[in-house]
Structure 1
Amino acid sequence: MKRAARVGAWALAVLIGLFVLFLMAAWIGSAIPRNSGWTEPDSGIEIMIETNGVHTAIVMPLVTPQKDWRADFPAGDVNDFQRPYTHVSVSWGEREVFLNTPTWADITVSTAIGAIISGDSLLHVAHYVRPAPGADLRPLVISPSQYARLVAAVERQIVPPDKRTLYHGYFGNDVFYDAPGTYHLGNTCNQWTSDTLATAGIRVGLWTPLEGGVMKWIPEPLQAGSR
């Protein structure tokens, strides 16, 4: 019994040590900038970076001269299809976590371990009507050319409508689609967000497996900070 207790204590200490190392690596990696010379232009196209405290997403206008998302993400795929949507929120993540954890209280140890090691991926797309900026939905102005690059990066994650499976989302305005890529600890949903932004030339951290590593680069709007 004593030997088993010692082995258990050692294993727990190793796990805690690995977790601390991961947090340190994430903190350091997220502090190293990509596109360090980028500055937000005075005018351009406004996107938003969304967070729920754990997971991040990129919110884009539904229609601009650069892209009309209605063909890729038709409102008819969601239950509340008749609303006058103006924006789409796009994020990437692990299939089992997305589909089986409508709230973070629903996540299980096996689901979490499976996602950390290796998991299939999905796109999560939510449709919004005139989303209001705030601490959890932070606007960011980028140039038309940068937005075109952002669009191209997102398009690379889209499986054609006739070749993908649709999974109903958590609410009436969201849906999941099949997506390429493998989710693991080094390639998380938040890393996808920062990689997509970096591809467009926007300043963001090098390795951002956690939500905070992404959002630290996106300033809160003034009205959110004055609450």
Structure 2
Amino acid sequence: MVELKEILKYISFVVFLPITYFLLSLVLSYITINPEITGTHKNSSIYLASDGVHLEIIIPKNKLDTALLNGLKQNSQENYLSFGWGDRTFYIKASTSSNFTFKNKLQAAFMNTPTLLHIKGYFTKQNNWVEIKITASQLATLQTYINNTFKKTTTLQKIRLPDISYGNTDNFYDANGNYNCFNTCNTWVNEGLKQSQIKASLWTPFDFGLLHIHKK
């Protein structure tokens, strides 16, 4: 009887954790921080895009500063660059069409796994992008945040992984930071907005909170 109680207690704990995580994520995703800046000085635009799970930040190339552009492989015809951050194993497995196993998912969720930055070029603005109007100061801070995420050599060069990509318009780079269920690809985007004083969620591991906030 004692063993049965212990087993039931363990099962309840295992079930309780993901439910608590999801409910907490849901509530905090819709709590907005950083007040809206009013006025006519918001003369720059960035964009948010999601593949249904994973958010990325898109910035027009003509608004990118030299520090962020330096060391990036580029196509001169591209007009926008997107920046996403995430679990290294997931990106590599996805780019090589290998299976991202259940073990990989557990490691990504519950261990501090290494990360990569995913940079993709676009020729035209996409219809599903969510536009955010920001100030020059906010844009500069956001670019510093993204640039600091790149892991660099001793000579401050960005480290591109030449054999990994989804196609002809994207590249992967070594990144700082570790991925886990509390620090996800969407948390990285949200933190960039928070540090740049752009409207953001209090905390969110998912994409829907930020999309909702900026679709208003």
TM-score bin (small chain): 0.7 to 0.9
Distance 1:204 1:104 in 2: 33
Q: Which amino acid aligns with 1:154?
A: I
Bigger mean CA offset, 38-47 vs 118-127: 38-47
Is 2:65 the counterpart of 1:30? no
The superposition leaves residues 108-160 of structure 1 with CA deviations (integer Å, 9 ceiling, x where unpaired) of 211111101220011011011122232xx111111111111111111111233
1:132 to 1:120, Cα distance in 2 relative to 1, 3 A: same
5+ long unaligned stretches in structure 1? 76-80, 221-227
- Given residue 155 of structure 1, which amino acid in structure 2 is its aligned partner? N
Show the counterpart of 1:109. Answer: 102
Identity among equivalent pairs (%): 23
The SS at the match of 1:63 is helix
Structure 1 contact 55–190 (Cα < 8 Å) conserved: yes
- TM superposition shift of 1:72: 3.4
Once superposed, which parts of structure 1, at least 4 consecutive aligned residues long, lie more than 4 Å away? 9-13, 40-43, 102-105
| 1:170-214 alpha-carbon deviations (Å, 9 max, x no partner) | 121111110011111111110000000111111111111111122
* Counterpart position of 1:126: 120
What amino acid is the match of 2:119? V
Cα pair 1:127 1:173 within 8 Å, conserved: yes
Change (3 A) 1:11 1:109: farther
Retained in 1: the 8 A contact 2:160–2:171? no
Partner of 1:143: 135
Q: Where do 1:9-158 residues align within 5 Å?
A: 13-35=12-34, 37-39=35-37, 42=40, 43-64=42-63, 67-68=65-66, 69-75=68-74, 81=75, 84-102=77-95, 106-117=99-110, 118-134=112-128, 137-158=129-150
The CA deviation string for residues 26-65 of structure 1, in whole angstroms up to 9 with x for no partner, is: 0122122221x2246554111100101100000001122x
2: distance between equivalents of 1:202 and 1:24?
24
| 1:187 pairs with 2:183 | yes
Calculate the TM-score normalised by the size of structure 1.
Answer: 0.80
Gapped runs of 5+ residues in structure 2?
none
Compared CA separation, residues 33 and 106, structure 1 to 2 (3 A): same
Q: CA RMSD in A?
A: 2.6
Change (3 A) 1:96 1:25: same
Give the deviation of 1:14 after TM superposition: 3.6
Q: Secondary structure at the match of 1:156?
A: helix
Contact conserved, 1:40 with 1:141, CA < 8 A, in 2? no
Contact 2:48/2:57 (8 A) holds in 1: yes
SS in 1 for 2:133: strand
